[in-house]
Amino acid sequence: MSLEVVLASGSESRRTLLAGAGVEAVAVKPNVDEEAAKASYRASGMRVSDQAMQLAELKAIKVSRARDGLVIGGDQMLNLEGEAMDKPANMAEAASHLRRFSGKTHRLETAIVIAEGGEPVWRHLSTPKLTVRPLSEPFIETYLEAAGPGVLKTVGAYQLEGLGAQLFSRIEGDYFSILGLPLLPLLDYLRVRGVLSS
């Protein structure tokens, strides 16, 4: 009997990516206090990539203690010159973030951990780099008005698969990782475990 795949996430985009790749996964919200965890990590001076990995592991382990199967925990943080940037709280903050990104390159620290029986068994970190072209104030205003409040659900106030593509002059790295899930390494691990045929 094949192992059940459980996604420890409420993320619609991660569920959609898995389903699109033919992976049947049950989604379970991990109910961890992400804000408290992030505050603790940042107070200790933890690197942004390590913060993302720790959060992914926290989610995977929490759900894995209550569910059998392979539990996937994921987290993505935006790293701007060593500073972790969170999702904007409102449209004014989204505009402020875009002003900060303008003309600069940031990294998306995209971490994924698989836990089984309450223990991590596999982890992967992908770090695509995205260069935002210089953005004018009229563009930022028009972009946010057109993109709408959906940008508040994303760490960079953009969705690359939509209007967010207009923000960038250069992108280096895996497209799926930018969307929040390093899909190709994950599929490879699921083949190794016999969940997918090789």
pLDDT in tens, 30-49: 999 999 999 999 999 999 99
C-alpha span between 133 and 44 (Å, rounded): 33
In a domain, 42, yes or no: yes
* CATH number, position 20: 3.90.950.10
Q: What is the pLDDT of residues 130-178, one digit of tens each?
A: 999 999 999 999 999 999 999 999 999 999 989 999 999 999 999 999 9
Cβ within 8 Å of residue 69, ≥6 positions away: 3, 4, 5, 6, 116
Helix spans in the chain (H):
12-20, 34-43, 48-64, 91-101, 137-147, 175-178, 183-192
Q: What is the pLDDT of residues 80-123, one digit of tens each?
A: 999 999 999 999 999 999 999 999 999 999 999 999 999 999 99
In a domain, 46, yes or no: yes
Question: What does the mean pLDDT of the chain come to?
Answer: 95
DSSP 31-82: ---HHHHHHHHHHTT--HHHHHHHHHHHHHHHHHTTS-SEEEEEEEEEEETT
pLDDT (0 to 100) of residue 11 = 81
Domain count, the chain: 1
In a domain, 98, yes or no: yes
In a domain, 64, yes or no: yes
The tokens of 198 are what? 């090789």
Residue-number span of the structural domain to which 15 is assigned:
5-192
Active-site choice (33, 50, 75, 174): 75
Percent of the chain with pLDDT over 70: 99
In a domain, 66, yes or no: yes
pLDDT (0 to 100) of residue 73 = 97
Residue 183 has pLDDT above 60, yes or no: yes
pTM of the full structure: 0.92
In a domain, 197, yes or no: no
Q: Tell me which of 13 and 130 has the higher pLDDT.
A: 130
In a domain, 198, yes or no: no
C-alpha span between 108 and 160 (Å, rounded): 12
| Cα angle: 86, vertex 106, 47; to 5 degrees | 65
In a domain, 26, yes or no: yes
| 68 is known as an active-site residue | no
Residue 2 has pLDDT above 80, yes or no: no
